[in-house]
Structure 1
Amino acid sequence: MDHMIFEVGTALMLIALASVLAGKLKFSIIPFLIVLGMLVGPHAPTIGIFDFKFIESQSIIEFLGRIGVLFLLFYLGLEFSVQKLIKSGKNIVYGGTVYVILNFVLGIGYGFLFGLPLYEVLIIAGMLSVSSSAIVAKVLVDLRRTGNSETELILGMILFDDIFLAVFLSVMSGLLLGGATSVGATLLSVSISIGYMLLFFLIARKGTPILNKILNISSSEIFIIVVFSSLFFIAGFSETLHVAEAIGALLFGLALSETEHSKRIEHLVVPFRDFFGAIFFFSFGLSIDPLALGDALWMALGAILLTVICNFVAGMMAGRNAGLSHKSSANIGLTIMARGEFTIIVANLGIAGGLAPILKPFSALYVLVLAIVGPLLTKESKHIYKVLNKVFKWSEPKINVKENG
């Protein structure tokens, strides 16, 4: 037991060092932690008392990673709001719809191109369709673009994408985890998943007064115990209905998003989200055999190229439809292509459902490259636009809005 705790402590120190390095380089910690996990694990050497294989502690690290997923999705649910989407207007609905449909349809075609079975194709399409909210938000803040004319549309499209993710995971949970063997049983599993999701939507809209009373707890200690206990209970209960535990966490966050305590909960959750979320990315890398990455190399590179082109086109369409300049529209396309936590969650759902093993190395390569390339393309969007403008000769409308970088 003592050695196992030492192994966990060693893993946490490695995560801390990788996070500090990422912070020094002002870059997303996601690729650093995935690569770190891949470099240690089953193929790592033992140096003195330090065993970087993490054999004894692997199950604990994996469990802590699962907690990280719950906090990531719970926080996403807190940020999510149907009311926000309705108030944002038709431009966001149009942009989000174009973005999701373009990525998902091309993802389906790409999966079939490689001869994958239907469920694997759907998971691939889902992976290609979800941006990283964390990376996109961080890049906008780091590059000081929160006041740009296109930023509201970017955040709205990300919100729309999050809604798609919730529906997609609910449906795929019913298909993959429901254990259905016939068309009728499959439809029943999917219906249960969607019904479960709609129940939480209803609670979020109609049950807010009751939730406000229940959570009217002055003691921060008792408040956090009540919220977190409920989070883990609902996530676990969701699994008994064959709905992914992550979706249970997201839906619980959604139910609390409209309460008067949502900001208080967000403030309490953020440190846990960041800490356990970091362990999640590390544990994901820990489960990957670097020697197996070559099997998915060409498939991942093709998907990356497809994502870059598809996201840029979607951004241009969304921006121009909203009356933004070509430059602002290009910024949209170059900002929303980062992939991270949610792509891995979609991949893990497929893996949990017993789908093709290639999903793991494919998702690792796909996320690694786009978690690095996405922010770089956003940072250099000004220069990229100048090059593209010479080719396409876009004419800039004269509008008096702020359009940095």
Structure 2
Amino acid sequence: MFVQNLFLVSFVALLGGLIMKYLRLPILIGYILAGIGFSMIFPVKVADIENLAQLGILLLLFSIGTELSLKRLTRIGNVVIIASVIQIIIVTLILSLLFRVFGVSFPAALILAAGFSLSSTALVVKLLVDRGESGSIQGEILTMWLLTQDLMVIPIIILLPSLTSGEFWISSTVKALLLSLLLISSTLFLGKLAVPYVIHRIASYNSRELLFLAAISLAVGVAALTSVFGVSPALGAFLAGLVISDTQENHAIFAETRPLRDLFVTLFFVSLGFLINPTVFVSHLGLILVLTISVIIVKFFVVYLISLSLGIRGKTSLYLSIGLSQVGEFAFILFLLARNFRIIDPVLTSVGISTTLLTLILTPLTFRTIIPIWRKIKLAVVDKPDLKKILLSQGDLYHEEDQNTFKDHIIICGFGRVGGWIGKAFDSAGIRYIVIDYNQRVVSEVQKQGIPVIYGDPAEPEVLEAADVRLAKGVIIAVPDRITQEEIISYVQTVNPKAKIISRAHLDEDWERLSSLKVDRVVQPEFEASISIIKSIFINMGKSKEEIALRIKNLKYAHSVKK
């Protein structure tokens, strides 16, 4: 039965993902909706799937730990921990007061509010990984913030029995927190002493299988150890990854564990859909929608104000506000435990779970709004120095200040290997250019080099406008995605038809499609590389320059490249 369930869950996840991909919506939404639809049609043993899903979360947090810098996290950790605790307290107070106004009992209001104050580590971290931002400053702050929330679940769970008896077990809560902090400190200290040496020794055998097994053993082992002491297993897996983050094997371990991680994380998001009660959802839809909107708004503004007060400004504060506005998977645990203690009734439990799921479904969509909202904020405060000082950090590249300073320049869309080499050539030739890239790590590196750069999707008109596309002399499209390429070409040809457009093509069919769009030049790097190799071989074989030129010309003609 387990194998059949695993097949069905994997299959509906595939269908949900394909549908979302076709609709150009985040795939994670498809996984959750697939779980909801699956649970309505087929009976399934949730525990079977949840065990595998839990492993996916452990590997996800483990891989994030391997990518982060322990030194950098130590530097930002104190501020983030304080911010996270303050956020939980304020959101819990606001929402519990709101629930009390509508007649919810004090214990039930407190548990619902506390559950809604938490955010989803699994979802947000997965989105950061997919966007290539897990190692960015906002990615690291979000990860620390979320893990602090996970840690705060412990005292909340300990308080549950006291809500039924009317007595607060403050001493037990303090002990649990101290034990957690001691466990984290000792894990990091002992791990840094022994684990890097052991991993290095295992890697010296040049066996991918042994390195993979060592990584899995470390992630699951530390997670099991922390769970024994009542600390989140996900936090334990993250600590295990953090321990090896500064070793030379961390990238290899990340690569080895990634396929297994992605599979089991998919199962996790499908399993979330199993928790919804269709009857309660339909009968209380209005209440669920109001709760969803209220929770998102309250969390957004609380996080935003806390971020500003602690000196976290600019785009980072917006990332935090949107990234933490949903409700996390630990809310499910709190609500179910509270139901077992008879603190909240079954209907209220289902409403809480449905609200949580709805915020999770909306999160991938709200993440897409970060850049557009950020640009609107910058435009709104351009003539307001006081607001500008409060909302924008000095580290943010404020492109609107440079409006109309770029003219007859080149825009490079995508600064990977192809774009990077083009940039070096422009630097040596003194050609003025600006870079657009959607990878925060790339943007940070480019900024360090003093190159004008814009973080954002080059397919978005607002991003292209920020690069003064209407005044550009040319646009070089170095991103490999054809859909993105077509959107860039369409917009540039509309607003600046005189601009020269040169685009790379990854596949032959991409070359044909882009050529039909009447761009000035389409370059296929793989084909150009083959031409260089062929030319070198002909020279070594003693062929004449005329013969080589003729054969190359014939090859290019066959490839429909005319010079």
* TM-score normalised to structure 1 length: 0.73
Q: Percent sequence identity over matched residues?
A: 16
Distance 1:141 1:71, change over 3 A: closer
Q: Distance in 2 between matches of 1:289 and 1:378?
A: 32
Secondary structure in 1 matching 2:329: helix
Q: Is 2:269 the counterpart of 1:271? A: no
Aligned pairs for 1:1-400 (under 5 A) are: 1=1, 4-41=2-39, 43-44=40-41, 53-55=42-44, 57-75=45-63, 78=66, 83-88=71-76, 99-113=87-101, 115-116=104-105, 118=107, 121-122=110-111, 124-130=113-119, 134-135=123-124, 138=127, 142=131, 152=137, 154-175=138-159, 187-188=171-172, 191-192=175-176, 194-215=178-199, 216-218=201-203, 219-236=207-224, 241=229, 243=230, 247-259=232-244, 260=247, 261-293=249-281, 294-295=283-284, 297-298=286-287, 301-312=290-301, 314-315=303-304, 318-319=307-308, 322=311, 324=313, 328=315, 331-332=318-319, 335-339=322-326, 343-352=328-337, 354=340, 356=344, 357=346, 358-369=348-359, 370-382=362-374, 385=377, 395-396=387-388
Structure 1 residues 18-62: Cα deviation after superposition (integer angstroms, max 9, x where no partner): 223334445433332222211222x32xxxxxxxx144x544223
Deviations 1:104-123 (A, max 9, x none): 43244345445245376246
1:221 shift after superposition = 1.4
Q: 1:197 and 1:364, CA in 2 relative to 1: closer, same or farther beyond 3 A?
A: farther
Give the direction of change, closer, same or farther, for the CA distance of 1:264–1:60 in structure 2 (3 Å limit): same
Gap runs ≥5 in structure 2: 399-454, 456-462, 464-563
Shift in Å, 1:174: 4.2
Asked if 2 retains the 8 angstrom alpha-carbon contact of 1:176 and 1:350, the reply is: no
Cα displacement (A) at 1:291: 1.7
Q: Which has the higher contact order (CA 8 A, sep 6+)?
A: 1
Which has more helix, going by share of residues?
A: 1
**1:285 and 1:364 in contact (8 A); partners too:** no
Q: Which runs of 5+ in 1 are unaligned?
A: 45-52
CA distance in 2: counterparts of 1:394 and 1:367, whole angstroms: 39
| Residue 373 of structure 1: how far off its partner (Å) | 4.9
CA distance in 2, matches of 1:69, 1:146: 15
Pairwise CA distance, 1:381: 0.8
Q: Deviation at 1:185?
A: 7.8
Residue identity in the other structure for 1:18: G
Judged with a 3 Å threshold, the aligned counterparts in structure 2 of structure 1 residues 123 and 310 are, in CA distance, closer, same or farther, namely closer
1 CA distance for matches of 2:320 and 2:57?
27
1:137–1:255 Cα change, 3 Å: closer
The question of whether the paired residues in 1 share the 8 Å contact of 2:226 and 2:233 is answered with yes
- What is the Cα-based RMSD across aligned positions, in Å? 4.4
Match of 1:402 among 397, 404, 428: 397
Structure 1 pair 291–105 and aligned structure 2 pair: CA distance change class (3 A): same
Letter in structure 1 aligned against 2:202: I
Change (3 A) 1:135 1:93: closer
User: After superposition, what is the alpha-carbon deviation per residue over 1:296-315, rounded to whole angstroms, capped at 9, x for unaligned?
Assistant: 75255235334324424532
Q: Which residue number in structure 1 is paired with residue 433 of structure 2?
A: none
Which residue identity is paired with 1:365?
Answer: T
Aligned residues: 379
Instruction: Point out the more displaced range, 274-283 or 65-74.
Output: 65-74
How has the CA–CA distance of structure 1 residues 122 and 205 changed in structure 2, closer, same or farther, with 3 Å as cutoff?
farther
Report the CA distance shift for 1:296/1:69 in structure 2 as closer, same or farther (over 3 A). Answer: farther
Deviation at 1:93, TM superposition (A): 6.6
Whether the 8 Å contact between 2:115 and 2:330 is mirrored in structure 1 is no
Q: Which moved more, 1:287-296 or 1:181-190?
A: 181-190
| Contact 1:102–1:310, Cα closer than 8 Å, also in 2 | no
**Structure 2 counterpart of 1:348, one-letter code:** I
CA distance in 2, matches of 1:330, 1:62: 33
TM-score (norm 2): 0.55
Please report how far the alpha carbon of residue 126 of structure 1 lies from its aligned counterpart in structure 2 after TM superposition.
Answer: 4.1
Work out whether residues 66 and 242 of structure 2, in 8 Å CA contact, stay in contact via their aligned partners in 1.
yes
Q: 1:73 to 1:349 in 2, by over 3 A?
A: farther
Match of 2:373, as an amino acid? Answer: S
- Write the distance in 2 (CA, Å) between the matches of 1:268 and 1:155: 22
